[in-house]
Chain A
Amino acid sequence: MNLHEYQAKALLREYGAASPDGALAATAEEAAATAQRLGGLAWVVKAQIHAGARAQAGGVRMVSSPDKAAAAARDMLGKRIVTAQTGPEGIVVKTVYVEKAVEVERELYAAILVHRAKAGVVVLVGREGGTGVERTLARRETLFDLPFGLEGADPAGIAGLTKFLSVEQIQAEKIANMLSQARRAFIELDARLIEINPLAVTAGGDIVALDAKMIIDDNAMWRHPELETLRDEDEADPQERAADQFEINYARMDGDIGILTMGAGLGLATMDMVVNEGGRPADFMDVRPMASREQVAEGIRLLLEDSRVKVILVMAVGGGLLHCDTIAEGLSSVFRKTGSAKPVVYYAAGTGKEISELTLKNQGVPVAVTESMEEAVAEAVRIAGSRAA
């Protein structure tokens, strides 16, 4: 679950990791009033959307009066912001965060995440923060891995950080202390990622989070019912939300071949095969091993209702839990109900293959049953190519 900047900062503050004073505003008037109330000479107005790279897209503005804060908010609210991370349609801004500007002496980068191979939480610090830092992060070796013991950052780690950042030891200690608090938030809130970029050293020597991104582990939400209220699903694709309700793994792509597979690995493989054959996937859809006929039917319904989808490619490999016949039953029940004529290309192997093929043929689904994955992919790509939008 993605959190907004203001939500992440509020949570981090509860753990003692500081950020500038700020408040949320839903209207231009509120933005002006907030700036007035916060006091000071300058403020930052920031669009609250679940995407990075906002500054380049006009989603972050520094202003010098409450009136200008209102003007900045007016420019953002209700508008679509398109950044490198939103996709071409962009995201509509519903709220802005108005924050007191601080005088920054240095911008750093920090991220907390689970290192897969080490199977532990790592705290990474970069010498430079701010916009455009994403690209340099592809090189992980440019980051300092700050080691933590049970009591917080260990002395050797602080010595290393002092050297890495070329700062006074007292400042490295302050930074390590702040990150120790953020790390505690990471662990106690079951985060998958906390990114603080930039992590600022102010002119007064304080360490504050100027921006914060936090992702909570979806698999741990049962442990944090209190975080449910922070969920903002308006930004999620409506089809992705619908799929989520039926426990189907779905991600929207921009092509015209609707894909449904049994298993995530097979889904990735099918997408690769479709692209290699010159086709364009409209989605990734993986039906989990515990799926029922009804869940399969809902998945197919999403693809039928998606006007971009010209053909549905179903890859079923029956295993020990989910059998191909469950897929075929779900598929045919939707076609029976909707009477849709959208073409389906079907490949099956493993448990329930034969009976599933019989089911589809007997139920009058407009289906091409194929004998290999290659044949299925080629047929789907051919149909998509022959049906002009």
Chain B
Amino acid sequence: MSILVDRNTRVIIQGITGKIATRMAERAIAGGTNLVGGVRPGRGGSRHLNMPVFDTVAEAAEAITPDATAVFVPPQHAADAMIEAIEAEIPLIVCVTERIPVLDMVRVKAALAGSKSRLIGPNSYGVITPGECRIGVMPDRPHSPGKIGIASRSATLAYAAVDQTTRLELGQSTSIGIGGDPVHGIGFRECLELFLADERTAGIVLIGELGGSDEEEAAALLAAEKPKKPVVAYIAGVHAPAGRRLGHAGTIDFFGDRSAAGKIEAFRQAGAIVVDSPTLIGHAMRQALWRL
């Protein structure tokens, strides 16, 4: 088992004919992902990488019944692309696009409410169940099939955790990039719920940063559930100056009330193992699993 995606997940790509989308599609196919087609307005009826291309998500949904769509669409059109996928009732939408206006994401979230879809991202590396399905821009190496569930706002820190858990022969069940934007799809709390319910996942890694309240919401769930599965958390940005945007749009909080220190405290109180360096994630997890 794994969460959200596995070898049976039928995947399409919106914006499939783009340069990066094509590169990522080739890699997904090579990695065993069940990629079944793509969407590109104006190119319907053609084929790309030997797969059918449709003008709209609705047509693709009708013809090839995808379970998931990867949105590789420029920021000016990304919100409309996500809403199109929501309207076509695609169960899982993964958006890697960076620099989408925040009010566009407000519109997307309104469309998501009460819909049949779940969103990962935007500004996300995507989601991967190693060896079975990858949707996004992550590298294949050093992922390995295994038992650690990872959810992260940052891509590079997630790769570091993947590298460590692979070296320690723990592997990953699924790794999810929740994205670096202030308004986004699923958060740490939902990832935590899914990982706790997943039999294959033995331990959970959450990698957060200052800003927003995703970490606090996950910590509240943790405190209520008191799960046996160990949760290792790392929070970046303890020494970030307040009121300035550092890379991720999500790191600025105009009221400055969601500091990294507060998130660390919330996780500690909730019983998570909080490490103070991203290099300690793997070891902390291995030790916690030994203690069980």
Contact = CB atoms under 8 A, between A and B. Distances in A.
B247 A264 contact: yes
A36 interface: no
Interface stretch (A41-49, A113-121, A160-168, A355-363): A113-121
Given A114-B103, A121-B106, A268-B210, A219 B249 contact: yes
B121 interface: no
Interface in B209-230: 209-210, 212-213, 217
A217 B279 contact: no
B75 interface: yes
Contacts of A266: 154, 156-157, 160, 236, 278
Interface in B68-113: 75-76, 98-106, 109-110
Secondary structure at the A interface, as helix, strand, loop or mixed, is: mixed
Contact of B142 (A117, A265, A350, A372): A350
B101 A116 contact: no
B125 A273 contact: no
Interface string A205-222: 000000000000111101
Interface centre among A190, A284, A318 (most CB of B within 10 A): A284
A272 B237 contact: yes
A8 B207 CA distance: 37
Interface residues of A, number: 58
B251 A222 contact: no
Contacts, number: 177
A117 B159 CA distance: 26
B139 A320 contact: yes
A320 B163 contact: no
B291 interface: no
B276 interface: yes
B180 A265 contact: yes
Given A219-B75, A275-B239, 4 more contacts: A113-B254, A263-B155, A290-B20, A373-B160
Interface of A: 85, 111, 113-114, 116-117, 119-121, 137-140, 187, 190, 192-193, 195, 217-220, 222-223, 249, 251, 253, 261-269, 271-273, 275-276, 281, 284, 286, 288-290, 317-321, 349-351, 372-374
Closest 3 CB pairs of A and B: A265-B154, A264-B247, A263-B156
6 contacts: A119-B183, A140-B257, A217-B103, A269-B236, A320-B138, A373-B277
